[in-house]
Amino acid sequence: MPTDIRAKLSNFDTSAQKARLVIDLVRGKAALEALDILAFTPNKAAEPVHKLIKSAIANAEENFGVARNDLYVYQIYADEAPTRKWRRFGARGRFKPILRRRSHITVVLREIE
């Protein structure tokens, strides 16, 4: 059975919907190719996802002794984290809620067989 190498980013301050636009670019790609794609992606979520994949590669090399050239992005997904509710007061004494959405991003790498 192949070994899953995991890394997780918790409470990332971008909505899961916006993070999914970035992570869909790298799903199923080789790990080093995914890093190249993310390096040139202009979205706000690209840099933390790039760092997360680098961390997962480092985990694979250090803990499992797997070469970085043999890794690919097996799974990557963004889940919703707790939403921070903010307030703004509007005209006529009304209350305008602002939802500051966050997300948890998880990446799973596997060795190419």
Q: What is the pLDDT of residues 7-46, one digit of tens each?
A: 999 999 999 999 999 999 999 999 999 999 999 999 999 9
5-111 CATH fold: Ribosomal Protein L22; Chain A (3.90.470)
User: What residue ranges do the domains of the chain occupy?
Assistant: 5-111
Q: Are 91 and 38 in contact (CB under 8 A)?
A: no
Rounded CA separation 63/82 (Å): 31
**Amino acid of residue 9:** L
* Residue 27: partners with Cβ closer than 8 Å, 6 or more residues away: 73, 75, 76
Q: What is the pLDDT of residues 66-99, one digit of tens each?
A: 999 999 999 999 999 999 999 899 899 899 999 9
